[in-house]
Every structure is written in structure tokens, then in C-alpha cells.
Amino acid sequence: MVHGDLASCLTMGVEAKLEALAVGGAERLTATVVHVTRLAQGGMGTVDLCVRRAGSFERLYAIKRPHSHLRADAAARAMFLDEARIAGGLRHANVVPVLDFGEDDDGPYMVMDYIEGVSLSRVMQHHAAGDAIPTTLAIAMIAQVARGLHAAHELVAPDGALLALVHRDVSPPNILVGRDGSVRVTDFGISKALGSASHTTTGLLKGKAGYMSPEQLRFEAIDRRSDLFAVGIVMFELLTTERLYCGDDAAAVARRILDEPVPDIGDRRPELPPELVELSFRLLAKHRDDRPATAAEVADALDAIGAETSVDIARYVEARFGADLEREREHVQALLSGLAASPRYGRRKDANDRLRTSTFWTRGRAPKRMDVVFTAALAVPVIASALWPEAPEGQGGAFDVLTFAADWSTPNAIHWTWQVSGDVADFHAWEIQLARSAAALDTGEGLLVFDGTRNPELHRFLLRNTTGEEPVDGTITDGLEPSSDYYARLFVLDTAGGRSKSTNVAVKHTGPVPTVGLAIYTDTFDAGVVLPSCYVASETAPYRGTAHYQLENHCDARGDARCSDQAVVTPALLCWENLQWQGMSLPIPQPFGPSQFADAYVEVAVAVDTSSASSETEGHGWWSNVRLRAAGKLWWYEKLTIRADGNYRVYQLPLARFGLDATSLGTTIEGLDIGSAWAEGSVIRVDEAWIRW
């Protein structure tokens, strides 16, 4: 069977067993697959929980799919296909298997077992307060990890040739401790094997910096012993409940791995068996030839060290996490009960349905293309605990918040900035919490929460612009009261369910209500604006008054721009479009010196409606910008996001953040542009553009 037939091979292998359930073998048994809930979301995609029902048969699956904006990315697609090919061929008790693979109108997907349990990250967080994990338990867990890795390392192609697989991302988030007592390795999204379709770009490292081997950091050829170095780090961290290699940035971490001597775990845990300390030294050896030759050798050594003690991992999971897992199970059952009672269950989506279902398998046929809203991730652990909304807070998460501070403020907005250390593969979302006092942050009184539903960039670790990608290291909290103090704290949510938070509380005072304003555009003010023919005046729900300017995206079916101010940024019907007011000569009211400039800000009301767009654009992954035309130049505010929910939002941006000062501004305003990337059919409306101080 060739790899291209993986979907039908796996699906018929698993699902054909259901045929026996048909009465007398004469009835066709049709299974309906229904989306239940989102399990997790990462920088590369999402994992959803789905249920498959056929008569009295019911089974839960985790469906993994890349984000929509990565489906056309050749490198990301190749990685996803490689993961399906590799993990689909693995059948071992200590590996999360891929049961099915396919592609539908929403792109490629993988069907995996739904694992009820916790990630090893969560186990380590649970013991971070000083309650050391029992040595025999840690030994048993790492032994199972080694068994799973050995199965992966020994994987062969259909012709029997060794694939020489290297996982390259062995780390706590990618190790799942099941309620059944089995420990499983997951996420082969960046694994390397002979014959892989994806290739690592020269000078580009794949994996988490804190778990890379010295040879990987030196860009040398790697083999299975690189994974064993990562196993050594995981074992060290599990036994000490502390990160081994961490730092302010990836370069600092790499230098520590390359330059520091091999750490002695016996210094941290003097009571450990000498054989275990010796194994730790061997696993963390800087030269691969000094490490064990295979993961099976590691597992055998661990089994020998722990041979005299009986270990029940399932009992440990139940004792430490059973209450949480039971609540999660009840939560899933409640969702399933709601689906079963829904009149929409078992029928196709129409215009009013949010739930999409489809035929997954029918007797005597290969699987149909799925028409299900299954979205899943390239780098997200598939665990039941991701369902539970209450995650531990504090520095126990996968990230360290290095700095968090207020940058600037206007009467109704504050811009906050931060720096964090951690791995992008662990990132889930940012969250800002605001209150009118430091005490209220803890009590929740009058708490304001800004997350990705309010600020799209808070769902992203990186956002694109026309020249590349830039990190999300700040956000604007708007709708605030003028002349008021606001206290804030940053949270970083990771894919393992952890919540890191800033150790400090940042505070900022909003500005006073302005007394002077220069109108760039209002309903009644005509400044001789020059606009492309694509723009129209509209009276449909303006922000204020009776009218506004409206633009509908005009990329054609080839992705070509039809307006003079548009530029194609991707063939997927996405154009960079600027809403432009040009040809102005607006005198700035005087006096306008440094003191006035310090308080001045651009204020624009913008609404973006993507309900009729050709593709998903809410949080589409692009920075927007506002450009001021003055003194014959363009002055930019570059890192802004515009929410695409059809509702007007007022943006206040200080003039000082456009890269100019009171002198370079000159005496007149010549125009204003607002630019971003929107898909075919998006409607962009602008009303009430001002400069105020």
C-alpha cells in the first residue's frame, strides 16, 4: 500500500469492523461525525474534539488541522503530510496514533485517538511548589517515553528500509500521561525521516531551544541520539521540577547547552540511585557517541533501576488529577447530551447552522471527503485537560514574563508592551486584565479583560506585514475613561493549559478630554479628498452622522488587484488595500508646539465586515497601519490590528508614535491612509477621522 492511500488504508482498517454491527450484514451502517468542542489552539493550528456515532456505537476522536492561513504554505503543508505519514505508520502503546488522514474543502486533517489525561508539563507544574515527584514514578514515566521513541526510531518504510526517524521535539508538552496509566509521545509535526517531503531550511532550527542537542544547535546531521539528549533534559526536569536550560532568549539558551558542563542531578537530588545519576550524565553528554545507542537501552536501564518497586501510574493520575479529569469528563458528556438532543444532529449544514456533520464511512466504500468543521494543530498536545477552563496561574506556565509596562496613553486608550521568554510552539494566547486599582485586580471588581475576541492580535505570537513577520509584543486596551488610573497584568496562556503572568502590576493614567481638533473627514467637511473609483459614499450605519466612505475589496479570482491603491500579497484572494484621503491642505490650528504635539493623537473610526468575504479574515494574521501625510512625506504607525466584526471601533494613536516631531510635522496635513490585508468581498468603512489635542 503506498503512502498516498493512507486515509483509506487506516480508515477501512479501523472502521470496517463496524460492519458486523449491521443487522444480518444486510443494512448499511452510516456513521455521523459531529464537532463537539475546541480542545486547544496553537501557533500552527487547532485540535478539536469530535464524536462518531453509528447506532449505539459512540467514540471520541481528536481532529488535527493546520490554520487556514497555512494551508497554502508549501512548507507547512509538507510538515503536516509528513506527520500523518510517519505517525500513521506507528503502532505502539506509548505513541499517540494517527488513525486516519484526508483532505476536504477546508484543507488537510488527521484523525487521532482522544487521550484522557494530562501532559507531562502539567505534571511538572503540579509538583513545582516543592512537592517532589516520587523517583520510581518518574523512572516509570521516562521508561515509557523511551519505549515509544524506540518504536519511532525503528519505523521502517513499506519496502522494509529503516526511515531513520528523529522526533526533534521531545519535550514535556509533547508527552501525555493517560488516565489509563500509559505515557505516550505525540506531535511528530517536525520529525525528520529519510524520504520526508519537508526540508529544513539552512540556518533554521526546528524544535524548542531548551531541548535541542548540541549537534542540532551546530546544524550538524542528527540521529536518534539527539532525541535521547532531549529525554535526558525531560528526565532531569521531571525529577527536579525545574527547567534545566532556560534563558532570556534562544541564543542564550543555546550557549548554555553548548558551553556549560553537564549538570549533576545528584546535586539537586542527593537521594537518587547512583545508577540513575550515571544515566543522566550519559543522556546529557555533549558528544553523541557518549550517550546510549538506542532508546531501548535507556528504557532497559530505567526498568532495571526501578525493578524492585511496583509503580501504578494510573493510580497516581487518579489521585493527583482525578477530580479535574472527572469534571472534564462530565463537561464532555454534557456537550454530547446537548448534541444528541439537538434537532440539527445528523443532517447537513444549512445557512443557519453552526454545526456541520457528514457521512464518515459507509459500508463497501472508501471514506468520503469530510465536510466537517474539524480544525486541529501542528503543535498542540491532544489532552482532555485542555477542555477545563480553570488553568493554574503564575510563573508555572511555559513562559517567563520578563517585562510588562505601559507604553503610552490617550484619553480612551492605553498601549501596553511586554517581553517574554519561551517557545512559540507552546504559545496559545495573550490576555490583559485591567482594573481601577491594584486590589481590584485580585478581587475582580470592575475587571476588564482583553483577549483575542476583542483584540485579534492576542491570539497570535507573530503577525505578518508586507516585509515579513513581527512578534506580538504589545496591544491597545481601548474604551477607557479619560483622566483615570488603570492597573494591568499580563497573562500568557500555553498549549498545556498553563497561565504565566507578569510578576508586576503596571499602571498608567489616561489623558484628559481634548479641547482642540482638526477634522480630516466628517459628514459635513469636504477637504477636496481624492479617492480611487472603488470607493463609494454610503449611508449604511455610519459611526456618527449620516454617511461615511466605504470600500469593498476588489481582488479578482486570480488574486489580481483592480484598484490603484491595492497590492497583491498572496494568491489566496488577499489584497493589501489602503483607504486614502489625498490632495489635502489642512492648516494645523496654532499655536501648535512641542507641548501641544505631546498630547496630540490621530483618531479614526473604522469598521470591517467580513461576513461576505471569500475566506476567513477575523484575526487573519496581518498587521494594519495608519499613515499620516505631512511635509511631503508619509509617517507611519505600523503595528495595529483592526477587528473584523462589522462594528465600528475608534482608534486613538499618538502623533509621537508616527516617527515625527512637532517640527517635522510642518503646518498642514496632506492626507491620511489606513492599510491592511482583507479578503475578497470584505467591506471596509471609515468615518470621523481627526487629529485631537
Q: What is the C-alpha separation between 40 and 51, in angstroms, rounded?
A: 16
List the chain domain ranges. Answer: 3-316, 400-509, 517-692
Q: What is the C-alpha separation between 428 and 599, in angstroms, rounded?
A: 36
- 486: part of which helix (H) or strand (E)? strand 485-494
| b/e burial code for range 657-688 (CB count within 10 A of at least 16 → b) | bbebebeebeeebbbbbbbbbbbbbbbbbbbb
Cell of 590: 496654532
- Residues 6 or more apart whose CB falls under 8 angstroms from that of 560 comprise 568
HSE-up (13 A, CA, CB side) for residue 117 = 28
Please report how the helices 295-305 and 135-153 are oriented relative to each other, as an axis angle in degrees rounded to 10.
160
Q: What is the C-alpha separation between 196 and 3, in angstroms, rounded?
A: 12
Q: What is the C-alpha separation between 392 and 642, in angstroms, rounded?
A: 31
Q: What is the C-alpha separation between 579 and 566, in angstroms, rounded?
A: 10
Which one of 169, 227, 494, 609 is the catalytic residue?
169
DSSP string, 498-552: -EEE-SS-EEEEPPPPPS-EEEEEBTTB----B--TTEEEE-SS-SSSS-EEEEE
Q: What is the pLDDT of residues 40-79, one digit of tens each?
A: 665 567 788 888 877 777 888 888 888 776 676 776 777 7
Question: CATH code for 517-692?
Answer: 2.60.120.260
Q: Please name every residue paired with 48 in a beta bridge, in sequence order, or none if there are none.
A: 38, 63
Q: How far is CA 295 from the centre of its chain?
A: 31
Quote helix, strand, coil % in the chain, to nearest 5.
30, 30, 40
Q: How far is CA 232 from the centre of its chain?
A: 27
Taking each continuous run of H as one helix and of E as one strand, the counts in the chain are 14, 31
Q: What is the pLDDT of residues 370-382, one digit of tens each?
A: 222 222 222 333 3
**What spatial distance separates the first Cα and last Cα of the chain, rounded to whole Å?**
71
In angstroms, the Cα distances linking 77 to 65, 67, 98, 106, 428 are 10, 10, 17, 13, 21
pTM over 0.75: no
- Can you tell me which residue has the cell 450605519? 541
User: Is 3-316 assigned to CATH 1.10.510.10?
Assistant: yes
| b/e burial code for range 580-605 (CB count within 10 A of at least 16 → b) | bbbebebebeeebeeebbebbbbbbb
Q: Pairing state of beta strands 485-494 and 506-509?
A: antiparallel
| pLDDT < 50: residue spans in the chain | 1-29, 190-191, 193-206, 341-395, 527, 556-562, 564, 568-573, 616-619
Nearest to 512 by CA among 429, 410, 424, 583: 410
Q: For position 148, what pLDDT does the model report?
A: 94
Q: For position 21, what pLDDT does the model report?
A: 32
Nearest to 685 by CA among 561, 539, 562, 566: 539
Nearest to 114 by CA among 59, 67, 66, 65: 59
Q: What is the C-alpha separation between 524 and 546, in angstroms, rounded?
A: 9
Q: What is the C-alpha separation between 118 and 322, in angstroms, rounded?
A: 10
Residues 208 and 426 sit within 8 Å (Cβ to Cβ): yes
Cell of 496: 498545556
CA angle 402, 406, 407 (to 5 degrees): 105
* Residue 425 φ/ψ, nearest 5 degrees: -65, -20
169 in active site:
yes
Q: For position 207, what pLDDT does the model report?
A: 58
Which CATH number applies to 400-509: 2.40.110.10, 2.60.40.10, 3.40.630.30, 3.60.21.10?
Answer: 2.60.40.10
Q: For position 204, what pLDDT does the model report?
A: 39
Q: How far is CA 395 from the centre of its chain?
A: 19
Nearest to 70 by CA among 112, 42, 35, 40: 42
Q: What is the C-alpha separation between 56 and 514, in angstroms, rounded?
A: 67
